[in-house]
Amino acid sequence: MHQPAITGTGVFTPENVITNAELVQAFNAYADKQNALNAGAIAAGTVDAIPHSSEEFIVKASGIEQRFVLDKTGVLNPDIMYPQLRQRSDDEPGVMAEMAVDAAQKALAQAGKTAADVDAVICAASNMERAYPAVAIEIQKLLGIEGFAFDMNVACSSATFGIQAAADMVRAGTIRSALVVNPEICSGHLEWRDRDCHFIFGDVATATLIERMEDATGPCFEIISTRCATEFSNNIRNNNGFLRRSRPDGVKDRRDMQFMQNGRKVFKEVVPMVSQHITDHITDMDIANTGLKRLWLHQANKSMNDFIGKKVMGRTPEPSEQPNILQDYANTSSAGSIIAFSQNSDDLTEGDIGLICSFGAGYSVGSVILRRHA
Ligand SMILES: CC(C)(COP(=O)(O)OP(=O)(O)OC[C@H]1O[C@@H](n2cnc3c(N)ncnc32)[C@H](O)[C@@H]1OP(=O)(O)O)[C@@H](O)C(=O)NCCC(=O)NCCS
């Protein structure tokens, strides 16, 4: 048996930023155009007018101030309202692979390791760019890693579930180390024409290197314990899939072929589920909430994180104890808690304990308890 540890993390951030002001301006232009087109039907009462979005609502309801995206011109064009990416040939790296390689190289550099030190790649994300070959195998090839690679998808919890899979393999001795990468192109599955959710997501890629602790050459985070749980729910759903053309109305521009959620219900049901999950996990590991130096939570909604932090800690945590990055990145699905961890963990000292927790569609919740070794 070997002790697994996180020895490096990396974040790829796209160059394009969309502020709430830009987003709302584009959405409102789209709404005005649609309403003008449908003026007759709206007057006759057969079609509802599309109401304007507002910056104030977005910040108050979610805490999100901006998001990074691979393409902003398509998203902000009221006649398009989705990202437009360059067509790539099959001989070129895919977009997900390219983002993941950037994040993975940063994680390797932080750990002081090279591709030769890695035995496996897990590409864990909410969506895959294609059905096959696995995106993870392409990333493995681009990085020059021997061994094996596979894709997995547990939506927003993909990263923590991937870390558990990697940690278990390191512990068992199947592998010495694995890169868990989370390239999330959320702009591709967000319905930018829906006021209720158009502000939610952004694009990013994260990478986490998991190694035997004895192989760490610098500061690392011992993986004390991982815990994953799922419970089926339709409250976050996307019906796009490979059987689409086989259905009578499958090829239509259908709303359910993009991200859909019942946000209120998600909020109400997931907050208690996650708070209980974290409390049970640390209790079972004999860790008191007073012993938790940091919570790196999934980044979907600031109020949601405030509730969870307060319930778990038994008091209102200081912002530094429960860092949020969603104001800058928005919800980046599985990558969110890893960005929070990557950008807010260097200051912890020997023996400090922290916990990464993801949650989302499925429902799914995954927690990783870490101990700092300086
Ligand atoms: C999505 C979310 C931010 C919405 O916040 P909310 O407080 O629940 O807001 P609601 O959807 O109830 O909408 C409240 C009102 O604002 C309106 N509204 C919605 N979007 C708006 C926008 N962009 N601009 C202005 N008003 C808006 C609604 O129409 C509604 O109006 P009504 O009261 O007249 O019906 C919030 O529910 C959330 O984050 N939930 C958790 C989501 C989550 O974690 N999902 C996981 C994804 S992976």
Q: Which of 57, 186, 299, 304 to mutate to test the pocket of ligand 1 (most atoms within 8 A of CB)?
A: 57
The per-residue pLDDT for 248 is 87
For residues 323 and 72, give the distance between their C-alpha atoms in angstroms, rounded to a whole number.
27
The tokens of 104 are what? 């993975």
Centroid of ligand 1 to alpha carbon of 200 (angstroms): 10
In a domain, 359, yes or no: yes
In a domain, 174, yes or no: no
37 occurs within a structural domain: no
* Start-to-end Cα distance in the chain: 23
* Gap between the Cα atoms of 340 and 322, Å rounded: 9
Measured in whole angstroms, the distance separating CA 330 from the mean position of its chain's CA atoms is 10
- What is the phi/psi pair of residue 355, to 5°? -140, 130
Query: How high is the mean pLDDT of the chain?
Result: 97
CA 67 – CA 44 distance, rounded (Å)? 38
Q: Is residue 32, in this structure, part of any structural domain at all?
A: no
How many other C-beta atoms are found inside a 10 Å radius of the C-beta of residue 239?
14
Please tell me the total count of domains within the chain. 1
Neighbours of 110 (CB within 10 A): 18
Residue 164 clears pLDDT 90, i.e. is over it = yes
Q: Which residue has the tokens 């729910």?
A: 233
| Residue of 176, 187, 171, 182 lying closest to 145 (CA atoms) | 176
Q: What is the CATH number of the domain that holds 247?
A: 3.40.47.10
Q: pTM of the full predicted structure? A: 0.97
Q: Is residue 99 part of a domain?
A: no
Is 312 inside a domain boundary?
yes
Could you tell which of 126, 196, 307 is best to mutate to test the pocket of ligand 1, judged by most ligand atoms within 8 Å of the CB? 196
3-state per-residue secondary structure call for 220-269:
EEEEEEEEEEECCCCCEECCCCCCHHHCCCCCCCCHHHCCEECHHHHHHH
Average pLDDT over residues 255-269: 96
Q: Which residues line ligand 1 (CB under 6 A)?
A: 53-54, 57-58, 61-62, 156, 195-196, 199, 236, 261, 263-264, 266-267, 300-301, 304, 331, 360-361
Q: Scan for tokens 């067509």, then name that residue.
A: 87
pLDDT of residue 14: 98
Q: Does the pLDDT of residue 250 top 90, yes or no?
A: no
Domain for residue 91, yes or no? no
Contact 270, 329 (CB under 8 A): no
Phi, psi of 36 (to 5 degrees): -65, -40
**Residue 80 domain-assigned (yes or no):** no
- Per the structure, the complete domain to which residue 238 belongs is given by 222-373
Rounded mean pLDDT, 286-309: 97
What pLDDT score does 249 carry? 87
pLDDT band at 48 (very low <50, low <70, confident <90, very high): very high
State percent of the chain over pLDDT 90. 98
